[in-house]
């Protein structure tokens, strides 16, 4: 079977979930419950297994049940050729990740064990939020399939910190700055290449997905908006020279602003629906659909990369879509992707969807 599936999940003293042991036999799991019962917490625990961190907090301590010393999340994951047992233990001291009984000291090496795509209400920020949100999206998605990219990005980020510190010196050393300029060019280029490659496929799938859900003639276009015009004006073989020149040209400006002004850390994505910036001018439904399309495009991109679909986590998304968009969405994922969905009720779901789903009632963390 050419599929990825979480067979079973154990969650212990994680947020408001005391202890849960779930076996998943269906493709579609619906977690139904009133507000504040633990639905998002459960999805978050699966996301934690996938990415090694929460999508809601940076502090792993927030995830441990109040007053408890540890939280544990574990799962058995069935893949086309292997079965993996993964386990994350959170404590005051830190986070311990195990795969098949072996500790995983490097997150970049662990990530990819459980490929996953999450869509939650906060993802509207992908469309409405600052460029930082969109860069983070790009970086997380590429990172999921490329440990090398995570490494390159870390190196780049350290360089930017170092360079910005230097630019803040009262009299920055010319010679050190020149060395860092060279590194800036060298570190930026592979990141740009990887991002543009990713975007080439992302834009195709996002467009197709948008159209499928919206069922309208309007389309979603995604463009990379770099902080330098060199990328669009020159072939990649010329980037190195052109960038070095540009960095020299903006030297005085950078010294005045005391920060690094060009590089992947200043870039953005532009999202257009029906030819206009959807974040600034789109309707709420268009914005939501655009954010969802970007996330669902990832399903396809990850499949292209690894040969099978990742799991899909949909938090609170169904209630936000109209009937037509909701049924298009469910049709798209049917039978192909193991999906975990939260909702406050089954209302608005068609009988066919309900009949093929495994339905879990979530109340007070149980």
Among 6, 24, 28, 37, binds ligand ATP (CB under 6 A): 37
Q: Are 190 and 152 in contact, with CB atoms under 8 Å apart?
A: yes
Instruction: Please list every residue from 174 through 213 that binds ligand ATP, using CB under 6 A.
Output: none
Smallest separation (angstroms) from ligand ATP to the CB of 183? 41
Length of the chain (residues)? 366
- Known binding residues for ATP are 33-40
Smallest separation (angstroms) from ligand ATP to the CB of 53? 15
Residue 39 is a binding residue for ligand ATP (CB under 6 A): yes
Choose one: 35-43, 63-71, 121-129, 252-260; the region binding Mg ion (CB under 5 A). Answer: 35-43
Q: Closer to ligand ATP by CB, 36 or 354: give it.
A: 36
Residue 40 is a binding residue for Mg ion (CB under 5 A): yes
Q: Are 97 and 88 in contact, with CB atoms under 8 Å apart?
A: yes
Rounded to 5°, the CA angle 49-25-299 comes to: 50
Three-state SS for 333?
helix
How many Å apart are CA 220 and CA 200, to the nearest integer?
14
- Known binding residues are 33-40
Q: Which residues pair with 22 in a beta bridge?
A: 9
Among 11, 30, 33, 138, binds ligand ATP (CB under 6 A): 33
- Taking the CA atoms of 186, 144, 132 and 225 in sequence, report the sign of the dihedral they define: positive
Smallest separation (angstroms) from Mg ion to the CB of 120? 8
Among 19, 21, 26, 36, binds ligand ATP (CB under 6 A): 36
Residue 35 is a binding residue for ligand ATP (CB under 6 A): yes
Total binding residues toward ligand ATP, as defined by CB under 6 A: 16
How many Å apart are CA 295 and CA 205, to the nearest integer?
10
Smallest separation (angstroms) from Mg ion to the CB of 47? 13
Mutual angle of helices 174-214 and 284-306, in 10-degree steps: 110
Residue 59 is a binding residue for ligand ATP (CB under 6 A): no
Smallest separation (angstroms) from ligand ATP to the CB of 331? 25
Got the DSSP string for 304-326? Answer: HHHSS--EEEEES-GGGS-HHHH
How many Å apart are CA 208 and CA 202, to the nearest integer?
10
Q: Closer to Mg ion by CB, 40 or 260: give it.
A: 40
φ/ψ of 45, rounded to 5, equals: -65, -35
Among 9, 28, 29, 41, binds ligand ATP (CB under 6 A): 41
How many Å apart are CA 15 and CA 362, to the nearest integer?
14
Q: Which residues pair with 75 in a beta bridge?
A: 9, 86
Among 7, 8, 10, 16, binds ligand ATP (CB under 6 A): 16
Q: Closer to ligand ATP by CB, 236 or 364: give it.
A: 364
Residues that bind ligand ATP (CB under 6 A): 15-16, 33, 35-41, 62, 64-66, 316, 344
Residues that bind Mg ion (CB under 5 A): 40
């Amino acid at each position: 079977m050419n599929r990825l599936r979480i067979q079973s999940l154990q969650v212990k003293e994680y947020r408001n979930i005391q202890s849960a042991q779930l076996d998943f036999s269906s493709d579609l799991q619906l977690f139904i419950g009133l507000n504040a019962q633990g639905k998002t917490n459960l999805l978050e625990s699966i996301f934690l297994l996938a990415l090694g961190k929460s999508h809601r907090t940076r502090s792993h301590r927030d995830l441990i049940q109040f007053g408890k010393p540890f939280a544990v999340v574990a799962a058995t994951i069935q893949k086309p050729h292997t079965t993996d047992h993964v386990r994350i233990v959170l404590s005051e001291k830190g986070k311990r990740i195990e795969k098949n009984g072996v500790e995983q000291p490097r997150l970049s090496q662990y990530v990819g064990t459980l490929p996953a795509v999450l869509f939650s209400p906060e993802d509207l920020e992908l469309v409405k939020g600052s460029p930082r949100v969109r860069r983070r999206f790009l970086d997380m998605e590429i990172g999921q399939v490329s440990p090398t990219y995570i490494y390159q990005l870390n190196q780049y980020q350290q360089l930017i910190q170092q360079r910005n510190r230097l630019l803040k010196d009262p009299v920055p050393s010319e010679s050190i700055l020149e060395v860092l300029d060279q590194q800036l060019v060298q570190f930026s280029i592979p990141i740009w290449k990887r991002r543009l490659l990713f975007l080439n496929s992302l834009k195709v799938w996002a467009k197709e997905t948008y159209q499928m859900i919206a069922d309208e003639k309007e389309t979603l276009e995604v463009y990379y908006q770099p902080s330098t015009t060199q990328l669009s004006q020159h072939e990649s073989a010329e980037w190195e020279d052109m960038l070095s020149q540009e960095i020299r040209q903006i030297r005085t400006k950078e010294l005045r602003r005391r920060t690094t002004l060009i590089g992947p850390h200043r870039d953005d994505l532009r999202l257009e629906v029906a030819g206009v910036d959807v974040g600034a001018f789109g309707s709420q439904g268009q914005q939501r659909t655009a954010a969802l399309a970007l996330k669902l495009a990832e399903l396809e991109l990850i499949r292209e990369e690894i040969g099978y679909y990742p799991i899909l986590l949909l938090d609170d998304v169904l209630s936000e879509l109209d009937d037509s968009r909701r049924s298009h969405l469910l049709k798209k994922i049917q039978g192909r992707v193991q999906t975990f969905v939260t909702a406050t009720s089954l209302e608005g779901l068609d009988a066919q969807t309900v009949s093929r789903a495994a339905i879990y009632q979530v109340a007070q963390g149980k």
